[in-house]
Each structure stands twice: as C-alpha cells, then as structure tokens.
Structure 1
Amino acid sequence: MKILFLTDNFPPEVNAPASRTFEHCREWIKSGHHVTVITCAPNFPKGEVYEGYKNRLWQTEIMDGIKVIRVWTYIAANEGFAKRILDYVSFMLSAILASPFAGRPDLVIGTSPQFFTACAAYVVSRLKRVPFVFELRDIWPESVKAVGAMGDSAVIRFFEKIEMFLYRKAAGIVSVTESFKRTLIERGIDGEKISVVTNGVDSSRFQPMPKDAELVQRYGLEGKFVSGYIGTHGMAHALETILEAAERVRRFENGDQYHFILLGHGARKEALIEKAKQMQLENVIFIDSVPKEEVPRYWSLLDVSIIHLKKTPLFTTVIPSKLFECMGMGIPTLHGVAGESAEIVEREGAGIVFEPENADELIENLVKLKEDGDCYRQLQENCLAGAKNYDRTHLAGAMLDILNDIVDGGRKVPEVMGNQEGK
C-alpha cells in the first residue's frame, strides 16, 4: 500500500503529533508499505527553524525509510491566534501544491490538532481520487474556545462548519480517544467509520534507566525528590498550579528536598518564568526543549511526573500522550486531568489522580509518593506492566489494518484501544 501522510509536525520536532506520526509511519515501512510524508521545516514550538534546515519551497529527505517532503510555510511561534492561523493556512496551501509531485497513493491521511492539515488532505484526496482519512487528535476549534484564546464568533462558527464537512467526507476517522468518538456520534457522524487508536509509547526508547548523573549534577538535584512536567507550556496546561505547589511545599519542614522541573516551551513559558521569579521559587528549574533523542535522559531525572491541564469539560476527553512515556519509563504520575485519561491512570494503577488546578491536592499526593515507599514501588511496577498495553508497534499495526480495510472498500472499522482488558 502507498500512503500519503500530511502533518505539520514531524521529527526532529518532539511533540506528540510528530512522535506518533513518525513511529506509525516507521512501523508501516517495516511492514513493507510505502509512506510519503508532506510536512514543513521543523520549527515547533519556538517558530525558529531547526539547525540544518531552511524554510524552502521544497526539500526532501529519507528518514528511516520514510520519504519526507518539506514545504515552505509562514512560520510563527506557538502563540498568538492570528499568526498561528496564517501558519496553518500556509501549510495547507503548500501541501496541496506539493501533492502532484508526491506520486499517486492508495489513500491520504491528514492529522489534527488543527484541521487545516485535514483540509489539505481532503483536497489532495479529491485530486488523486483516493480515500481521505482524518486522524483526530483534538476537537478543534472547540479547544480554542476552551482555553480562552477566542470566544464564540462568526469565525469560530465558520471553522466548525468546515470541521463537520471534513468529518462527513472522510472515508475513515481515526480518533485517539473514545470520548472524541462519542462526541462525533452525538454530532451526527456515522460511528461505523470511526475507530479509536490511542497514543502509545515507543518501548525501544522509553524504558527504565537510572538518573542521568551528568544532568543531576548540572541542575543540583543530588538527594532531591524531583517532580516535573515535560511538554508544551501553553494556555491549556495551567502550569501556574505547579508553581503554587512549589511555593507552598517549600514551607514544609523538609521542603528543601522537593524540586520541580518544567521542560519545554510554549505561549506561557515566559510568563511562568516571570511568575516564578516574583515568587522567588528556587526549587523550580525551567529547561528549554531538547532534541528528541535526549528526552529520555531528562525523563530519568523525575521521581514523579506531573501531567496537568486546565479544568474545563473539553479536556476530560483528551489523553495526554506523555502519560504513556511515563509508564514506559516506570515513573509514577500525578495526574491533574479528569475524564478518560484519569480512567487509564486508575485502571493501570500508574499514578494518582488529583483535581485539575488544585495545588493542595497536588502537594498532598506528592508528599504521599515521597513518604510511602511501598506505594511508590507498587506504582512503578504497575507503570511498567501497563506500558505493554500501549506499545506503539502494536498500535501502528492496528491502525494499518484500518487503513487496509478502507482501501479495500470495507465498512468494518474496528475498535482499537491500548488496553481492552477490564472494559
């Protein structure tokens, strides 16, 4: 099978869409299929082109057997609604223009979070007269309203009409959560063409390892109980809650033993750094984004991972992909996200769930994990056992079965979750 995949995030970028797409495509190549990816020059999240790349009209490379075509886009940092829309639209147009030179595939996949990439995939599928598959990673533009970036308006309603058009026109929809599937069915989309393939973990990269000695020394973490957040510092993540917890925990009798790491970049990072300075938080360390191959070294620093999103109903439907990386590394999670992802944490016994934006609950459970060694070790064991249920190789194969079925013209779209047990 020949697969054409459109995505505006791809390695060496390290965010969730880039990792999922690359790891799935890599596995499909290993299975003997041909995969071409149309993407842009790597620049997420700072809006700065990575070293070794240029924002050219056209450049190609082969990455683990995947043919990667990079096209010109208007590059903007991951902040500011208007500039980001220009970024998205420019990729949509460039991807459409580049598609005639990508050969004739058997199907075209477009992945969200934003749906302009899916718009491009739909147009390309019509030009090439092949099926269009919508990989649904986020309910957009609803998520824009949820974080307060933009209120209900004529523009948002126009985007929502396009969104529904794409759902209806897709030959298949691959959602990363059951909640997204239920939402689409409630909005009138045919459930027979919606399947679920959760995010997962590349177990060849994310596995238990001792704390990286060089990094421990560099950041002065000897003898510290380290918790941290690794990922985008955006409006959706409400990371001020972690700063509040850091400020309160330092008042404890042994408060100097607790340290917090926030690694990544995003629209709120500079504001978070400034807030930490005002609060005089010497127990919080900010680290810039690191290359993909370096990420496990930084995960190794953490005794506990903090996963957090703003307290809003929409985010009860999402599953942060970093959860599975934590599980693969054997790092218990303090999970400040309600809904489907919290159910996974509780089902797998991979951590402790706390109320989003509740710093007191975060501190209470952080102290528990530090002081209760038996509980901590049990969660570690549960993480490693649970990670096997979300192995990326298995999930990539499951999605490939769905794609084969679509190409063959079948209507049977299987349910594919990382863990079918206990449901």
Structure 2
Amino acid sequence: MEKLTIITSYYPPEIGAASNRIHHLANALKDEYDVSVITPLPNYPTGKIFSEYKGRFSNTSHEDGVNVIRLWLYASKSKNKFLRLFAMLSYSLSLSWYFLWHKLPNRVLVQSPPLLVAFTCMLLLRSKRRKLILNVSDLWPSAGFELGALKKNFSYRLLQKLEKFNYKSADLILGQSNEILGHVKTITTKPDLFLYRNFPDIIPPKLEDSEKKEGDTLKIVYAGLLGFAQGILELCKKLNYENIELHIYGSGAEEEQIVTYIEQNKDLPIYFYGRVDRKDLHMVLLQYDITIIPLLNRIYGSVPSKIFEYAKLGLPMLYFGGGEGENIINNYNLGWVAQAGNYSDLNSVLTKIKITDLNTERKREIQKTAFKNFDFRAQIEKLLEIL
C-alpha cells in the first residue's frame, strides 16, 4: 500500500475544528494509503503539554489505523508575539530534525496555517518525485490582519512572501472555501485546486419529537473554542437577554474572563459548562433550540466547520460572521444571519425568531439538507481521484 504523510500542528486529543478536520481526513484516507500523521505533542488550547505526554521529546503510537508521530515543541498560549513565534519555530525545528533522519513518502499533505510550519515543510520536502499537497484552512497573514493580530509592516510583508512561496511550491492545494481558492489564483496558477469543505464524518443522534409553545424561553447554545476570534465575551456583554438564555461550552483564551463576567452578572441568564468531550457534545447540543456561530470580525476565506456539523445534527443556526458562511446558511435555509459585528442587528434578528417554528419537523429538514449536500464520503471519493 502506498504511503502518505500528513503534517499538522493540531491533532486529537486536542480539541477544535483544526484537529477534528485532520483526524477525519486521516481516517478517511487510511483505506487507500498507509497514513502517518506528524504533529506536536498535544498542547492546544491550554498552551501546556498534556499531562500524559509531559517530559517526552517525542511519542509514536498507532491510533485508529493511523501512525501518529508527536514531536516536541515549546508550548505557549501567551499573548506575547515573540513567545508565539518561538512556539512555532520550535515545532519547525523539530520537523527539520525529523526530516533529516527519516525518509518521507512521495505524497505529503501539509496543513496551513501556521505559515511558518508550512513553509518549513514546503522548503525542505520539495522534490521532483514527491507530490506536495497543501491544505489551506485560513488565509494568513490576511486573516491575522482582519483579526487585529497583525499590522501591515515588515513582518506582514515577510509572511506574505512565505504564503506565496507555499502556494507556488504545492502540486495540489485544498481550500476550505471558494474565497481561499480565488485568492490562491491571484498569486499562482501552478497547483491544481480542490474545494475541500470541512464536512464532518459523524453518525448523528436520532431527533426526538418535541414542540415549542408561544412564550417559551429561547435557549441559545455556543460550543467551541473561547478564543479572541470568536468574541464570546463580547457576545455575553452585548446580547439582549429578554426571553433568551445563553449556554456556553468550551475552553480557550477568554475562558477566565467569561467566567468572571458571569460571576459579576449573576442576574443574566448565562450558563457556562466548560469543556465537554466531542462524543458527548452532540447529545448535549440537541437539548437547545438554536446554536450561535459568531466571529468577532468577518474573516475573508473563513467558513466555520460548525455549519456543516450542526446541520447534520439538525440544529438551526444563527450565523454572525459574514462572508461565505453567510451564503451557505441562506442558500441551504439552515437558520438566520445577522450582520457581522453589528450587535443591534443580532438582537433584532433574535426578536424575529419564532419559538414555535423550532419544532422537530424544521430540524429534520435541516438534517435532510445536510445529508444531501454535505456528504463527507462523496467528497473523499472525489479527492482520491486527484491525489
């Protein structure tokens, strides 16, 4: 069986869309390839090496039919940009050392971002005999600028050069959105392009019959990373809580601030539950009326994978992030859209949601749409044809 290696900065037991995306991909490809995954020792989103991996420089295991090689890095979730840079550099150095002593196969798939890690791989693994596949899930450095994490200075221009080098060095680019593929085309026409949506590979729980009555409280749930990009703290502060509740699951950089805000505003119907294992989360989510998918700023190229996952659960969505994700919600009638960053519009949309419309029939229609249009296995079959 031909070998294929995937190089990523995130992989389970880490949580979040990035680790789930690569985990699903690796498991889907293992029937056609002997798949190995190279990834750092688990540390995300806590910024600390998970306890069971502490004290190790590397770890190799066989998980669900996939060989997983975990390499050392300096783990940090510091806001200090130099410490964040050093964390990325440390993984790049570990990768360079690994490449020096190990022969990699003729097919290698590299996850980007982080740009620096992807650059290390594209630079050191170039070969006429090797096919380099770049999986682009976000457009950096432009996404960093839109998030306010980067300024358009010398460092930004340097990152742009790395970005262009990565695209031009790839033989095939997988982009999670049409915006990403469109952006790549403005830089190079060399690689083949493939729209690879972050469809989940899940068997959703059965929907139980339930009906809502006029006057019932609208129960809204957010589940996921509590990072600065999601803006959950700001959401807590700006929501109009008349006849709604906000339930929060997850962990991340804003977690402590969110908990503090809830403790200081006990009169508000905000409930925080912390992190829940993904295998349990789906059943938890089904007890709520709608889920909210926010982004603090509209990020060009970004399409949250939650859209496809929640659709398969039959969960109506309130999307608050703009861009291509907004079009998907509208085109497939998956819920409601509020103008990105406009909390007045968000609260206005909430007042227009009729609780009586959130019945089991509506949820089954969403689920039916998801199974028809967001088929993970069908997408993998198309991908295998060009790998």
Regarding TM over 0.5, the answer is yes
Q: Report the Cα distance in structure 2 between the residues aligned to 1:281 and 1:171, rounded to whole angstroms.
A: 56
Say if 1:385 and 1:291 are closer, same or farther in 2 by CA, change over 3 A: same
1:3 aligned residue: 4
Which residue of 240, 256, 281 corresponds with 1:270?
256
1:193 and 2:192 correspond = yes
- The aligned counterpart of 2:219 is 226
* Higher deviation after alignment, 72-81 or 338-347: 72-81
Instruction: Tell me how far apart the structure 1 counterparts of residues 123 and 153 of structure 2 sit (CA, whole Å).
Output: 26
Q: Does 1:380 align with 2:366?
A: no
- The residue type equivalent to 2:9 in the other structure is D
The structure showing larger relative contact order (alpha-carbon pairs under 8 Å, at least 6 residues apart) is: 1
Q: How does 1:197-346 map to 2 (within 5 A)?
A: 197-204=196-203, 206-209=204-207, 225-246=218-239, 248-249=240-241, 252=242, 255=243, 258-312=244-298, 315-346=299-330
One-letter code aligned to 1:147: L
Q: Scaled by the length of structure 1, what TM-score is found?
A: 0.82
Aligned pairs (5 A) from 1:24-423 = 24-30=25-31, 32-54=32-54, 56-77=56-77, 79-99=79-99, 103-126=103-126, 129-186=129-186, 188-190=187-189, 193-204=192-203, 206-209=204-207, 225-246=218-239, 248-249=240-241, 252=242, 255=243, 258-312=244-298, 315-373=299-357, 377=360, 379-388=362-371, 389-403=373-387
How far is 1:81 from its partner?
2.8
User: Offset at 1:236?
Assistant: 1.7
**Residue-by-residue CA offset, 1:26-82 (whole Å, 9 max, x unaligned):** 11112x311110001111101133343235222111111100000100001274433
Counterpart amino acid of residue 324 in structure 2: E
Mapped to 2, the partners of 1:103 and 1:22 lie a distance apart of 23
Q: 1:124 to 1:107 in 2, by over 3 A?
A: farther
Q: 2: CA distance between counterparts of 1:153 and 1:245?
A: 33
Name 1:18's counterpart in structure 2.
19
Contact 2:233-2:257 within 8 A present in 1 as well: no
In 2 relative to 1, CA 43–360 (structure 1 residues): closer, same or farther, beyond 3 Å? same
SS at match of 2:52: coil
CA distance in 1, matches of 2:368, 2:73: 42
Distance change >3 Å, CA 95–CA 292, structure 1 → 2: farther
1:24–1:392: 8 Å Cα contact kept in structure 2? no
The question of whether the paired residues in 2 share the 8 Å contact of 1:144 and 1:150 is answered with yes
Equivalent residues of 2:168, 2:191 under 8 A apart: no
Separation in 2, partners of 1:77, 1:301: 32
Name the Cα RMSD after superposition.
2.4
Distance in 2 separating the partners of 1:79 and 1:15: 19
> Is the alpha carbon distance of 1:61 and 1:124 closer, same or farther for their aligned partners in structure 2, counting shifts above 3 Å?
farther
Unaligned runs of 5+ in 1: 212-222, 404-423
In structure 1, what residue type is equivalent to 2:174? V
Cα deviation for residue 370 of structure 1 reads: 4.6
User: Does the residue aligned with 1:52 lie in a helix, a strand or coil?
Assistant: helix
Q: Distance in 2 between matches of 1:279 and 1:146?
A: 30
Cα distance change, pair 50–226 in 1 and its aligned pair in 2 (3 A): farther
Distance 1:281-1:189 versus aligned 2 partners, 3 A rule = farther
Report SS of the residue matched to 2:99: helix
- In 2, Cα distance between the equivalents of 1:18 and 1:259? 30
CA 1:360–1:27 in 2, change beyond 3 Å: closer, same or farther? same
What percentage of aligned pairs have identical amino acids? 24
The answer (yes or no) to whether the contact 1:207–1:330 under 8 Å persists in 2 is no
**Closer/same/farther in 2, CA of residues 301 and 101 from structure 1, 3 Å limit:** farther
Q: Residues 210 and 378 of structure 1: is their aligned pair in 2 closer, same or farther, counting only changes over 3 Å?
A: closer
Instruction: Give the 3 Å change call, closer, same or farther, for CA 260–80 of structure 1 in structure 2.
Output: farther
Query: CA 1:129–1:121 in structure 2 vs 1: closer, same or farther (change >3 Å)?
Result: farther
Displacement of 1:343: 0.9
**What whole-Å deviation, never above 9, does each CA across 1:84-115 have from its counterpart, x for those lacking one?**
22221211121222235554312111102321
Q: Bigger shift: 7-16 or 119-128?
A: 119-128
Normalized against structure 2, the TM-score is what? 0.89
Summarize the Cα distance change of 1:284–1:166 in structure 2 as closer, same or farther, 3 Å threshold.
Answer: same
- Cα–Cα, structure 1 residues 82 and 401, in superposed 2: closer, same or farther, change >3 Å? farther
Residue 300 of structure 1 deviates from its aligned partner by 2.6
State the number of aligned residues: 379
Q: Which residue of 2 aligns with 1:217?
A: none
CA distance in 1, matches of 2:129, 2:89: 23
Displacement of 1:131: 2.0
**CA separation of 1:210/1:99 partners in 2, compared to 1, >3 Å: closer, same or farther?**
farther
